[in-house]
Amino acid sequence: MYDIAIVGAGVNGCSMAYEFSLENKKVIIFDMDGISSGGSGAAGAFISPKFSKTGDLKELLNKAFSYSMEYYEKNFPTLFKKSRLIHIAKDEDSSKNINEYKKSTKLELLNTPKDFMSGLSEYANSYENICMETAVVNAKSICSAMSKGAKHIKEKVDTLIYDDGQWIINDVYVAKHVILSTGAYKSVIDEPYIKIRGIWGHRIDVKTSTDNPYTIHQDVSISKSENGELAIGATHDVHYHPQTSNKAYDIENGRVELLNKARKTIDLEDLEVIKDYTGLRSGSSDYMPIVGRVVLSRETLRSCKNITNGKKYSADDFTYYPNLYILNGSAGYGFVLAPYLAKQLKDFILYAKDIDEAISPVRLFVRWAKRLG
Query: Which of 67, 45, 72 has the alpha carbon at shortest distance from 145?
Result: 72
Strand order in the sheet with 197-207: 46-47, 129-137, 80-88, 215-217, 221-222, 229-237, 197-207, 272-283
- Per-residue confidence at 189, pLDDT binned at 50, 70, 90? very high
**243 pLDDT exceeds 80?**
no
Backbone angles phi, psi at 264, to 5 degrees: -65, -25
Q: What is the CATH number of domain 2-38+142-196+286-372?
A: 3.50.50.60
- Per-residue confidence at 238, pLDDT binned at 50, 70, 90? low
pLDDT value, residue 234? 81
**239 pLDDT exceeds 80?**
no
Query: Which of 363, 340, 335, 353 has the alpha carbon at shortest distance from 81?
Result: 335
**53 pLDDT exceeds 80?**
no
Rounded Cα gap, residues 314 and 214, in angstroms: 48
Locate the domains of the chain by residue range. 2-38+142-196+286-372, 84-137+197-283
Name the residue with higher pLDDT: 246 or 81. 81
Rounded percentage of the chain residues whose pLDDT exceeds 70 = 99
Q: Among 6-20, 179-193, 240-254, name the one with the lowest average pLDDT.
A: 240-254
Q: Do domains 2-38+142-196+286-372 and 84-137+197-283 have the same CATH topology?
A: no
**237 pLDDT exceeds 70?**
no
CATH 3.30.9.10 matches 84-137+197-283: yes
**35 pLDDT exceeds 80?**
yes
Q: Is there a contact between 63 and 336 (Cβ–Cβ < 8 Å)?
A: no
Q: The whole model's pTM is what? A: 0.94
Q: Is there a contact between 276 and 255 (Cβ–Cβ < 8 Å)?
A: yes
Q: Indicate the DSSP class of residue 363.
A: H
What residues contact residue 213 under an 8 Å CB cut-off, 6+ apart? Answer: 84, 116, 224, 225
Q: Is there a contact between 9 and 141 (Cβ–Cβ < 8 Å)?
A: no
User: For the residues 203-213, what does the mean pLDDT come to?
Assistant: 96
pLDDT value, residue 1? 94
**235 pLDDT exceeds 80?**
no
**299 pLDDT exceeds 80?**
yes
- Per-residue confidence at 55, pLDDT binned at 50, 70, 90? confident
| 92 CB burial (10 A radius; 0-12, 13-18, 19+) | exposed
User: For the residues 190-208, what does the mean pLDDT come to?
Assistant: 92
Name the residue with higher pLDDT: 23 or 239. 23
**198 pLDDT exceeds 90?**
no
Residue 55, sorted as left (phi over 0), alpha (psi -120 to 50) or beta, turns out to be left
pLDDT value, residue 129? 97
Residue 159, sorted as left (phi over 0), alpha (psi -120 to 50) or beta, turns out to be beta
Rounded Cα gap, residues 176 and 5, in angstroms: 8
**What mean pLDDT, rounded, does the chain reach?**
93
**373 pLDDT exceeds 80?**
no
**84 pLDDT exceeds 70?**
yes
Task: Express each pLDDT in 99-154 by its tens digit.
Answer: 999 988 889 999 999 999 999 999 999 999 999 999 999 999 999 999 999 999 99
Strands (E) located in the chain: 2-7, 27-30, 46-47, 80-88, 129-137, 151-153, 160-163, 166-169, 173-180, 197-207, 215-217, 221-222, 229-237, 272-283, 290-295, 320-328
- Per-residue confidence at 184, pLDDT binned at 50, 70, 90? confident
